[in-house]
């Protein structure tokens, strides 16, 4: 077994690695947009983010299940918040501070995680849109569970968790349907809106709920074959549907873009996560060493990659230079990501584990 893997789940690290590599490849096309037709490959970046949503929902769903199995109370929710925020916010605030200093601008929205509602402000740190959706989900979802348990006077997960999941899936879908006549562009007015997109994470929580009750079904051979077939064919279908209906730079709200596309890609992403549940333990293979490394620094990679891409893409004036500066930027991204993980992420993870007396773990 590899070092650092005692408390990690190989399958979830594979999903995390696949998600960040999809985002890096999709956004890396910025180097080639001037020279080649690359619109069809942008789907990779879109899919990578949705896969992160499903994975995040699944992992926190397992935590929420444990919280709700006993008497649900605010102190448990507070500890949940502390653990999530110490994992995500310190590095986020560090990057935000650097960007604000570099751009000589200050937007209070970045401290409230509301920049998605201000497209001009979001341009300074565009990839932060997905993090704001996650942070608001972390805040509101457990509060909804607690509220439901108070209203129905039933504190255990047999009722409050599935109802919360249902509301977080149905309400955004309904709101997106009501936004079909929106005349703004789809990317900023639908895709990146906090109140319209929490269902991507809720599907992951639903997977955790189902896995908690039917563990054996997720590791049997029949499920592996069926889900593997869905992963192969579904990706091709989603890629085709996306490119037939959605242009990231000019798409408008529509029935497909608002209502049909998201359940399809969110369910597919959830099945993607479900397929890799069966791969639990690390071995000593060289490939798994790279998976572990990329997985550990994936959050840092996500936060820093786009500003670095933007910086180096200015010098990509020919196709050859585009390849050269893409390679240079990837090296920078990995090095900086590893440094940020070691210097900021890991110390805060260790501190939160000390404060909450729990090991950091992705084991299920």
Cα–Cα distance for residue pair 248/268, rounded to 1 Å: 20
pLDDT at residue 240, as a whole number? 95
Q: Which residues 6+ apart lie within 8 Å of 265 measured at CB?
A: 46, 47, 50, 238, 242
Q: Is 314 helix (H, G, I), strand (E, B) or coil?
A: coil
Q: Which of 167, 175, 206 is nearest to 53 (CA)?
A: 206
Which backbone phi and psi does 212 adopt, to 5 degrees?
A: -60, -30
Spans of the chain below 70 pLDDT? 1-6, 153-158, 357-364
pLDDT at residue 360, as a whole number? 44
User: pLDDT tens digit string along 79-117?
Assistant: 999 999 999 999 999 999 999 999 998 999 999 999 999
Cα–Cα distance for residue pair 155/146, rounded to 1 Å: 8
And the tokens for 71?
């008497």
HSE-CB at 91 with a 13 A cutoff on CA atoms is: 27
Q: Which of 162, 277, 263 is nearest to 223 (CA)?
A: 277
H helix runs in the chain, sequence order: 10-28, 43-69, 74-103, 109-112, 119-122, 128-152, 160-178, 186, 199-213, 215-219, 221-245, 255, 261-275, 286-296, 298-313, 319-340, 346-356
Count of residues making up the chain: 364
pLDDT at residue 18, as a whole number? 97
And the tokens for 145?
């569970």
Residue ranges per structural domain of the chain: 10-356
pLDDT at residue 113, as a whole number? 97
pLDDT at residue 355, as a whole number? 79
51 touches 320 (CB < 8 A): no
**Residue with structure tokens 């096309």?**
29
pTM: 0.94
């Amino acid at each position: 077994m590899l070092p650092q893997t005692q408390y990690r789940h190989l399958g979830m690290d594979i999903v995390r690695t696949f998600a960040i590599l999809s985002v890096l490849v999709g956004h890396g096309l910025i180097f080639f947009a001037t020279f080649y037709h690359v619109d069809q490959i942008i789907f990779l970046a879109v899919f990578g983010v949705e896969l992160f949503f499903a994975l995040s929902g699944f992992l926190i769903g397992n935590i929420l299940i444990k919280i709700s199995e006993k008497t649900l109370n605010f102190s448990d929710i507070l500890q949940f918040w502390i653990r999530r925020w110490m994992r995500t916010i310190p590095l986020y605030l560090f990057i935000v501070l650097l960007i604000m200093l570099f751009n000589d601008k200050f937007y209070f929205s970045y401290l409230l995680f509301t920049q998605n509602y201000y497209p001009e402000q979001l341009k300074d740190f565009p990839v932060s849109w997905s993090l704001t959706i996650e942070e608001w989900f972390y805040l509101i979802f457990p509060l909804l569970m607690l509220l439901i348990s108070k209203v129905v006077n039933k504190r255990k997960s047999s009722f409050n968790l599935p109802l919360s999941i249902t509301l977080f899936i149905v309400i955004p879908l309904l709101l997106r349907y009501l936004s079909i006549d929106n005349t703004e562009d789809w990317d900023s007015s639908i895709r990146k809106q906090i109140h319209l997109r929490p269902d991507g994470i809720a599907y992951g929580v639903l997977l955790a709920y189902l896995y908690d009750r039917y563990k054996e079904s997720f590791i049997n051979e029949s499920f592996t074959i069926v889900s593997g077939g869905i992963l192969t064919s579904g990706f091709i279908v989603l890629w085709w549907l996306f490119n037939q209906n959605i242009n990231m730079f000019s798409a408008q709200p529509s029935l497909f873009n608002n209502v049909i596309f998201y359940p399809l890609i969110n369910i597919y992403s959830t099945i993607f996560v479900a397929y890799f549940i069966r791969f639990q333990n690390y071995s000593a293979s060289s490939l798994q060493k790279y998976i572990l490394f990329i997985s550990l620094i994936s959050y840092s990679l996500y936060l820093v990659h786009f500003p670095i891409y933007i910086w180096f893409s200015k010098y990509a004036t020919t196709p050859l230079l585009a390849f050269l500066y893409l390679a240079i930027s990837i090296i920078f991204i990995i090095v900086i990501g590893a440094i940020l993980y070691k210097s900021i992420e890991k110390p805060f993870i260790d501190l939160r584990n000390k404060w909450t007396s729990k090991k950091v773990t992705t084991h299920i």
